[in-house]
Amino acid sequence: MAARRNSSFAPFGPRSLSRVRFDEQFLETPFFGVRQMTWHLRNDGHLVNEKRIRRLMRLMGLMPIYQKPNTSRPAKGHKTYPYLLRGLRVDRPNQVWCSDITYLPMRRGFLYLVAIMDWHTRKVLSWRISNTLEANFCVEALNEAIHKFGPPEIMNTDQGSQFTSFAWTDRLRRSGVRISMDGKDQFLDNIFIERLWRTLKYECVYLHAWETGSETKAAIRKWMTFYNHQRPHSALGGKPPALAYCQRNDINQPDQQVQRVA
């Protein structure tokens, strides 16, 4: 990806603001509210006002400090569960899985992506793309991950309606999985998959302007394969997640990395 120019200098004069550019800036400065974001983008040469920025943030489901889909609130009547990971020693694959949803901007509109990740090794175990935010595509990804790798001990998600739905929680309970959910407005409780989204967007999503769902799906599949099997991960001593998952699942190494959740 080409180097980004200094955001404080706009030599080409005023220009329109795309959703992709706005989302990219939000990932860089998630602590900006509407007023600060407006000022910053004006300094960057964009013709925007607070009304447009507020509308974009509402439309794209963005809130200052952190980003998540706009339906990450529990539906009325859905049961929520306590957060089980605080202070937990996470030292092996399949001990804790996590899941989350993000959106994928296209040239027109956007799609939604869910992923199931192994907390210890950061391996993406399964994923699905959907044009709606119903729970079905999340449950399909969960079913695939359990079928391929067996159930985890704990599954951690936010309190979004997909993850508090009966279809999701019933599948976990029937598999003997303990259910853990982030505290309200506590995005750091699921920090590893939030970092996955940031990496995916900068290394793949922002490099393209996809026209169709099939184009988007093919590009995400290619990147997920690269991420799991080739991309070195700093938390894994430079190993790609799939290799770390395989090694640590088969062999209890004496120098095995131990992660403690804050």
Mean pLDDT computed over 72-92: 84
Q: What local confidence, expressed as pLDDT, does residue 262 receive?
A: 43
pLDDT at 222: 97
User: Can you give the pLDDT at residue 61?
Assistant: 65
Distance of CA 44 to CAs 15, 38, 123, Å? 9, 10, 37
**pLDDT (average), residues 21-39:** 77
The DSSP string of 180-204 is EEPPTT-GGGGHHHHHHHHHHHHHT
Of 20-34, 113-127, 195-209, the one with minimum mean pLDDT is 20-34
Out of 54-63, 85-94, 96-105, 134-143, least confident range:
54-63
- Write out pLDDT tens, residues 134-159: 999 999 999 999 999 999 999 999 99
CATH homologous superfamily for 89-260?
A: Ribonuclease H-like superfamily/Ribonuclease H (3.30.420.10)
Per-residue model confidence as pLDDT tens digits over 181-197: 987 655 556 788 989 99
CA separation, residue 30 to residues 25, 64, 86, 124, 255 (Å): 8, 5, 24, 25, 36
**Rounded CA gap, 233 and 239, in Å?**
6
Instruction: Choose the most confident range, by mean pLDDT, from 58-67, 97-106, 164-173.
Output: 164-173
Mean pLDDT of the region 235-248? 92
Q: What is the mean pLDDT of the chain?
A: 82
Residue 65 burial by CB count (10 A; 0-12/13-18/19+): exposed, middle or buried? exposed
Give the separation between CA 48 and CA 46, rounded to whole angstroms. Answer: 6
Tokens for 109, please give them. 């509109």
Question: Per-residue b/e over 138-173, b at no fewer than 16 CB within 10 Å?
Answer: bbebbeebbeebebbebbbbbbbbbbbbeebbebbe
Predicted pLDDT of residue 149: 97
Predicted pLDDT of residue 184: 65
pLDDT for residue 30? 66
User: 179: number of CA atoms within 13 Å, CB side?
Assistant: 17
Residue 7, pLDDT score = 35
Percentage of the chain surpassing pLDDT 70?
A: 79
Distance CA 257, CA 140 (A): 31
112-130 pLDDT per residue, tens: 999 999 999 999 999 999 9
Specify the pTM.
0.71
Reply yes or no on whether the pLDDT at 167 is more than 70: yes
